[in-house]
Amino acid sequence: MLNDNLHMLIGLVGIGGLAVTMVLVGVLFFTLSTLYLRKPFIAGLIGNISSFSISIAVILLFIKRDMKQIS
In this prediction, residue 38 carries a pLDDT of: 84
Please check whether residue 33 is in contact with residue 47, taking contact to mean a CB–CB distance below 8 angstroms.
yes
In this prediction, residue 71 carries a pLDDT of: 67
Please check whether residue 30 is in contact with residue 49, taking contact to mean a CB–CB distance below 8 angstroms.
no
Question: What whole-number distance in Å separates Cα of residue 58 and Cα of residue 55?
Answer: 5
This prediction's pTM: 0.62
In this prediction, residue 1 carries a pLDDT of: 54
- Domains of the chain, by residue range, sit at 19-70
In this prediction, residue 53 carries a pLDDT of: 85
Q: What backbone phi and psi angles, to 5 degrees, belong to 19? A: -65, -45
Q: What averages of pLDDT result for each successive group of 10 residues across the chain (71 residues)? A: 68 77 82 84 84 83 79 67
